[in-house]
Structure 1
Amino acid sequence: MGEAGFPFSAVVGQERLQLALILSAVHPGIGGVLVRGEKGTAKSTVVRALAQLLPPVVDETGARPARLVELPVGATEDRVVGSLDLERVLRDGEQAFRPGLLAAAHHGVLYVDEVNLLHDHLVDVLLDAAAMGRVHVERDGVSHSHPARFVLVGTMNPEEGELRPQLLDRFGLTVDVAASRQVDTRMAVVRRRLDYEADPDGFAARYADADQMVAERILTARDRLPAVALDNGELRRIAALCAAFDVDGMRADLVVARTATAHAAWRGRDRVTEDDVRIAAELALPHRRRRDPFDEPGISEEQLDEAMRAAADEVEKAAAAQDFDESSVAADADGEPDRSDRGQGRDEVEDSGGQDGVNGPDGGGAGPIDGQPADGPQDGIPDDDGPDDGGPDGDGPDGGGPGDGPGGPPEGGPGSGSRPGAESLSGTPGAANKPAPRWEVPGLGEGAPGRRSRAQTRTGRMVRPDTDTATGLHLLGTIFAAAPRQFERGRFGGPLALAAEDLRGAYREGREGNLVVFVVDASGSMAARDRLTAVTGAIVTLLRDAYQRRDKVAVISVRGSEAELVLPPTSSVDIAVRRLAGLRTGGKTPLAAGLRKAREVIAREHVRDPRRRPMLVLLTDGRATGGIDPLPRARTAARLLAGEGHTAMVIDCERGMIRLGLAADLARDLRARYLRLDELTGDTVADVVRGSSRGPSVRAA
């Protein structure tokens, strides 16, 4: 028997995360929890501790503890959902199904660390199973269905890349976590961790009663859940909240309703109140406001307060209309208004926010795990090691007003002269809806899964059987290879006689993500306000395209006397937008230095990830002015890059009546696709650049 795991009740400073996990355990139909945050914030510790609190599972083998099933990032779809049992097929000649990880997680926890690095189609499979509670498999002549009700938990570090908004919406709840900045809380975290490492079993024993209390409350809440009432007043409040935040579709309304019901059951109530709806909205709505990859997720306290007030007005109006209708009916029946039930609808609303609400005896409100204020006691969670970190507020990653992220104005403001344009990058006029050029690296790669260039992958479309089995066994190809040799192998009935040379793999083709290196001319010749506005719009267009195609991006700034790597290669393109918002301009144009720096970045990244093929995007007017013989040096650097076979695009930022055409010359030297800036920011860009396999195409300015 292994050492005891870290107790759920001993975790300090992550009450909001604990509450979200508990509510998902009470009502698995919520759809799981996505935990976003920096490394070292106990995300994995809390998730693993939750599995110890779930009720035992009773199946055909008897009672067993609920499992924590960890899904590795490199898992295949067969391993996740299950597949044909090849051993039984080939040995016994009978069709059989081998369940996957989803079946193993039934009535337990399915944990996906770094879920943002998981293939998109696998994330879809997980979320479908979590929403439906069943897995349906139709493949290789097998039709199989089995229950799979589990608590889905995904963790991610946003700096390593974001999930698509469509996938974010599929997660029921999202919690942003960060290490507390309170000294007492940080001391408590370290002290408890050191005590656990010194004596795991003894430490777990100290919190056994508290964990047992939480486990019993989860079980009790599950039993109470079907009896919890959600009246029309609170349902109207939920609908008004979701409408106020302009979320897409109806999934948000359903998740908020389920979460509010689960919270009421967790608090021991038999009806949903305004307090339950608010807490559900805090957990279920922030990530659904993100429509653009560069939008910051989150809802500030002020925004939520305003939406709650508007929703309360909706409920009041509906209650008043209902009172009027009831009074009219009573007057018609008795000759005078019936005042006995007047205001019933409104009294119910007031009661829902009073008796068990913020001002009621249960405390109501902001408390993370128990719905109580952060400075109050928590049932089942010891609070004897100093003040808790009450969770993220409006100023943290969970909040943040509209001006806090890339949607707000950059530092320096309009007219500062030190930054590219007055607007933020994501708010650049004309950039939001313009498609990027259709552009890919020619040939067939073997890079990371993505959506840009053709590649041989483990998860793409099956093209043909192949002698290489590294990408999985191709059953039919193996059988067809073995069939002609059955007679010479002495088979006269019975199982198929196989040999090693019969094995065939599945040759699959899909799409890969690439490394896109932006070299941005930020010199004085580019500093005109209208030009910078267009340039930043072009960059956002290309970054949005890189986000959608799952590329890594790097940004190099060229200004003054040197080239600066503003952003090392990263999968988080929203970080690229924030870095570009702080880009400074002015000075000369050392283009040769920028191209050399790009070459260094590409070479260094090739050592780290040799399968990821690079692409270069150069935004410049071509006027090299830095150093000795600046233009010849720049053209020499361009030819060196071209000689290494790198795919490139030059965006000519030159404007005005007189154009020198220097960027077009650089495009020829780079053997690059050529595009004028006004084409990239105009309405007819979709077909300007197609696949690079057509060869270079340089237009005169």
Structure 2
Amino acid sequence: MSAYPLSAVAHQPQLLLALSLVAACPDLGGVLIRGDKGSAKSTAARGLAALLPAGGPFVNLPLGATEDRVVGTLDLDAALKGEAKLKPGLMAQANGGLLYIDEVNLLPEHLVDVLLDAAAMGVVRVQRDSLSAETPARFALIGSMNPEEGGLRPQFLDRFGLCVDVLAPREAEKRVEIIRRRMAFEADPVGFSARWVNGENELRERLSHASARWQAVGVPEEVLTGISNLVLEHGVSSLRADLVLHRAARVHAALEGRHVAGWADVEAVAPLVLNHRATRPPPPPQPPSPPQPPESSLPPESSPPEPPEAPQDTPDASAEEVFAPEAAAPLTLRSTATGRQPLGEQPGRVTRTVPDPKAERLHLPATLRGALGRGAGKAGAETGLNFQLTREDFQAPVQELHSGRRVLFVADASGSVGVSGRMGALKGAILEVLAGGGGRDRAALITFRGTGAELLLDWTTDRQAAEEAVRGAVTGGRTPLAHALELAGRILRNQTHAELVLFTDGRANVPLTPGSDAWTDALAQAQVLKRYPCTVVNTESGHVRLNRAAGLAGALGATLQELRLAPV
């Protein structure tokens, strides 16, 4: 069956724009399509392949593909002759076309990194000991994913030039139109495609012209300055965002047939460039002040009533403050207490090999290739092949080291913790755990206060960055415990060897949805997290206690500890 025409995809203008941009300029770094199942992600990607300016191939990368299958391997038959020749992998096969990865969020991270590197450089390199080879691999990279099945880490998200969120239409008439077109295509693919041939030709011509002309599109200085200001307003520190936004605006102008990119081009592509990178939304415009009644209409010697005060945890709970860490008694985490996730370094996949004449373990393929590379294998007239292997050819494997654990800290930063004087000890306890990791552990930090939860620090082994995030955490406001547990579930969804450390007094008072019960919501979210090893650290203090932290620990299947200051 032929591919569904891209121009026939209805009611997805942002998706069509993102695909057009990356087709005209693969150097944008590819596009990530996020959306529910059945929202035309793969249909649109396949339709794009038929319109690529070079008419290149469409290569689908399966989830189970090995690194050699993706990257390629050295041809050993050629190596026997002393030649460095590459057996092309999927990336090389996609040269001049489109490489599509469905469910890219489920792909091993090292493969995602390799794919993004190749897409950015336009070449794939394979090096095995003394032999190396490379081949062109300039392709448009399209990744799709369902966010409900887990996300991509921010460093990988940033590597995708563009990102578009697609949803199925909510209006009945639009859904009917989509279904009618799909049914017509399935009944008669050839006839349906023939009816859209004019639209396909027009789109193909636009892409071809934009591909040839976008580099000649100019950008005025004031637009360039506006691009950087816009990126900063969204809280993006990576310069890649400025570069991609600048390039995408030029490509958009070329698609529209203009020779100079204006601010309208920037606004058209900015959501695709910034939405997956932004750490905060741009400041909203201030609403106009409501009209005041004339003074004569107010009763004599009267004034408008004071607005009601916002609810607070305690009289001073709404005040924001940054508390300094204080020394806290050491915690015993589940990973160290039960042996469930040992801290020792565990060998992983072989990342490289090194020459080692005294090696006790050999990487046999690398050893043989090394011997062939120095000419140890020579054809003989009678024997066919004379092969001599010496200790100088020995190659030892170097394996990646998996850290012993991943710890997600979820810290109550509400006003009640600050008023009780426990926030300093909370920070001290987290810093104590970080200090004991030996630099091998990965940590992440969620804080919750006010009306929601925030991922203050994504997974990192950078101890300094983790400590800065902990020390700078702001305290004040209400206690959205259910929101924090819901966010923790999303962060932990695709993590292995991860544990949860939750600091809270359990006094939830912000429900997930208006009208629901905050404590009930928190217990429901705790049930979802029950499969992860968890430690609940009770931050409650005073003579009158609700012991909500103990109830929460029971729902989580967690061990319960008390937050205490270190003895002087």
Question: TM-score range, shorter-chain basis?
Answer: 0.5 to 0.7
1:283 to 2:272 alignment: yes
Partner of 1:113: 102
Alignment: residue pair count: 462
Superposed counterparts of 1:425-574, under 5 Å: 441=335, 454-458=345-349, 474-476=365-367, 492=383, 494=385, 508-511=399-402, 530=420, 540=446, 547-548=459-460, 570-573=489-492
2: distance between equivalents of 1:230 and 1:520?
A: 46
2: distance between equivalents of 1:80 and 1:270?
A: 38
1:173 to 2:200 alignment: no
Superposed counterparts of 1:211-610, under 5 Å: 211-290=200-279, 302=284, 414-415=311-312, 441=335, 454-458=345-349, 474-476=365-367, 492=383, 494=385, 508-511=399-402, 530=420, 540=446, 547-548=459-460, 570-573=489-492, 582=511, 601-602=530-531
How much has 1:16 moved relative to structure 2?
A: 0.5
Would the alpha carbon gap of residues 247 and 520 (structure 1) be closer, same or farther in structure 2, given more than 3 Å must change? closer
Would the alpha carbon gap of residues 137 and 244 (structure 1) be closer, same or farther in structure 2, given more than 3 Å must change? same
Structure 1 residues 568-577 or 266-275, which shifts more? 568-577
Residue 177 of structure 1 aligns to which amino acid in structure 2? Answer: V
- Given that 2:129 and 2:369 are in contact with CA atoms closer than 8 Å, whether structure 1 keeps it comes out as no
- Given that 2:129 and 2:370 are in contact with CA atoms closer than 8 Å, whether structure 1 keeps it comes out as no
How much has 1:413 moved relative to structure 2?
A: 7.1
Partner of 1:36: 34
2: distance between equivalents of 1:528 and 1:229?
A: 54
Which residue, out of 133, 140, 143, partners 1:151? 140
Would the alpha carbon gap of residues 89 and 143 (structure 1) be closer, same or farther in structure 2, given more than 3 Å must change? closer
Which residue, out of 47, 50, 54, partners 1:49? 47
1: distance between equivalents of 2:122 and 2:537?
A: 50
1:615 to 2:533 alignment: yes
Q: Deviations for 1:219-242, whole angstroms, at most 9, x for unmatched residues?
A: 122222233222333323323333
Would the alpha carbon gap of residues 201 and 256 (structure 1) be closer, same or farther in structure 2, given more than 3 Å must change? same
2: distance between equivalents of 1:212 and 1:218?
A: 10
1:67 to 2:57 alignment: yes
1: distance between equivalents of 2:455 and 2:108?
A: 20
Which residue, out of 186, 194, 216, partners 2:175? 186
Would the alpha carbon gap of residues 108 and 513 (structure 1) be closer, same or farther in structure 2, given more than 3 Å must change? farther
1:66 aligned counterpart, secondary structure: coil
Q: Deviations for 1:234-293, whole angstroms, at most 9, x for unmatched residues?
A: 323323333444431432222111111111110011221221122132321232223xxx
Would the alpha carbon gap of residues 439 and 32 (structure 1) be closer, same or farther in structure 2, given more than 3 Å must change? farther
2: distance between equivalents of 1:54 and 1:185?
A: 28
2: distance between equivalents of 1:460 and 1:203?
A: 50
Q: Deviations for 1:121-167, whole angstroms, at most 9, x for unmatched residues?
A: 33232222222223333332223233222111222233333323232
- Given that 2:101 and 2:144 are in contact with CA atoms closer than 8 Å, whether structure 1 keeps it comes out as yes
Partner of 1:609: none
1: distance between equivalents of 2:156 and 2:418?
A: 40
Superposed counterparts of 1:615-634, under 5 Å: 615-620=533-538
Q: Deviations for 1:314-343, whole angstroms, at most 9, x for unmatched residues?
A: xxxxxxxxxxxxxxxxxxxxxxxxxxxxxx
2:87 aligned counterpart, secondary structure: strand
**Unpaired stretches in structure 1, ≥5 consecutive residues:** 57-64, 306-411, 481-485, 499-503, 550-562, 603-613, 642-647, 654-675, 680-699
1:288 aligned counterpart, secondary structure: coil
Q: Deviations for 1:434-477, whole angstroms, at most 9, x for unmatched residues?
A: 9x99979579x999xxx987445446576999999xxx974327
2: distance between equivalents of 1:154 and 1:304?
A: 37
2: distance between equivalents of 1:625 and 1:491?
A: 89
1:162 to 2:163 alignment: no
2: distance between equivalents of 1:102 and 1:431?
A: 51
1: distance between equivalents of 2:85 and 2:4?
A: 39
How much has 1:586 moved relative to structure 2?
A: 6.6
1:289 aligned counterpart, secondary structure: coil
- Given that 1:174 and 1:283 are in contact with CA atoms closer than 8 Å, whether structure 2 keeps it comes out as yes
How much has 1:201 moved relative to structure 2?
A: 2.9
Would the alpha carbon gap of residues 224 and 625 (structure 1) be closer, same or farther in structure 2, given more than 3 Å must change? closer
1: distance between equivalents of 2:45 and 2:208?
A: 18
Residue 106 of structure 1 aligns to which amino acid in structure 2? Answer: N
Would the alpha carbon gap of residues 155 and 86 (structure 1) be closer, same or farther in structure 2, given more than 3 Å must change? same
Would the alpha carbon gap of residues 615 and 267 (structure 1) be closer, same or farther in structure 2, given more than 3 Å must change? same
2: distance between equivalents of 1:52 and 1:461?
A: 39
- Given that 1:474 and 1:505 are in contact with CA atoms closer than 8 Å, whether structure 2 keeps it comes out as no
1:189 aligned counterpart, secondary structure: helix
2:276 aligned counterpart, secondary structure: helix
Partner of 2:450: none
2: distance between equivalents of 1:67 and 1:153?
A: 13
Partner of 1:86: 76
2: distance between equivalents of 1:7 and 1:430?
A: 59
- Given that 2:346 and 2:404 are in contact with CA atoms closer than 8 Å, whether structure 1 keeps it comes out as no
Would the alpha carbon gap of residues 540 and 211 (structure 1) be closer, same or farther in structure 2, given more than 3 Å must change? same
2: distance between equivalents of 1:55 and 1:177?
A: 25
Residue 49 of structure 1 aligns to which amino acid in structure 2? Answer: G
- Given that 1:32 and 1:153 are in contact with CA atoms closer than 8 Å, whether structure 2 keeps it comes out as yes
Partner of 2:2: 4
Q: Deviations for 1:406-457, whole angstroms, at most 9, x for unmatched residues?
A: xxxxxx974379xxx879xxx995699x9x99979579x999xxx9874454
Residue 616 of structure 1 aligns to which amino acid in structure 2? Answer: C
2: distance between equivalents of 1:70 and 1:233?
A: 41
Partner of 2:199: 210
1: distance between equivalents of 2:236 and 2:115?
A: 23
How much has 1:37 moved relative to structure 2?
A: 2.5
Would the alpha carbon gap of residues 164 and 239 (structure 1) be closer, same or farther in structure 2, given more than 3 Å must change? same
Would the alpha carbon gap of residues 496 and 93 (structure 1) be closer, same or farther in structure 2, given more than 3 Å must change? farther
Would the alpha carbon gap of residues 568 and 26 (structure 1) be closer, same or farther in structure 2, given more than 3 Å must change? closer
1:149 aligned counterpart, secondary structure: coil
Would the alpha carbon gap of residues 154 and 128 (structure 1) be closer, same or farther in structure 2, given more than 3 Å must change? same
- Given that 1:440 and 1:452 are in contact with CA atoms closer than 8 Å, whether structure 2 keeps it comes out as no
2: distance between equivalents of 1:118 and 1:446?
A: 26
Residue 126 of structure 1 aligns to which amino acid in structure 2? Answer: L
- Given that 1:462 and 1:506 are in contact with CA atoms closer than 8 Å, whether structure 2 keeps it comes out as yes
- Given that 2:105 and 2:145 are in contact with CA atoms closer than 8 Å, whether structure 1 keeps it comes out as yes
Q: Deviations for 1:10-65, whole angstroms, at most 9, x for unmatched residues?
A: 11221101101101111222121122223332112111111111134xxxxxxxx4
2: distance between equivalents of 1:237 and 1:270?
A: 19
- Given that 2:158 and 2:277 are in contact with CA atoms closer than 8 Å, whether structure 1 keeps it comes out as yes
2: distance between equivalents of 1:594 and 1:164?
A: 22
Give me the TM-score of the superposition, normalised by structure 2: 0.63
- Given that 2:334 and 2:535 are in contact with CA atoms closer than 8 Å, whether structure 1 keeps it comes out as no
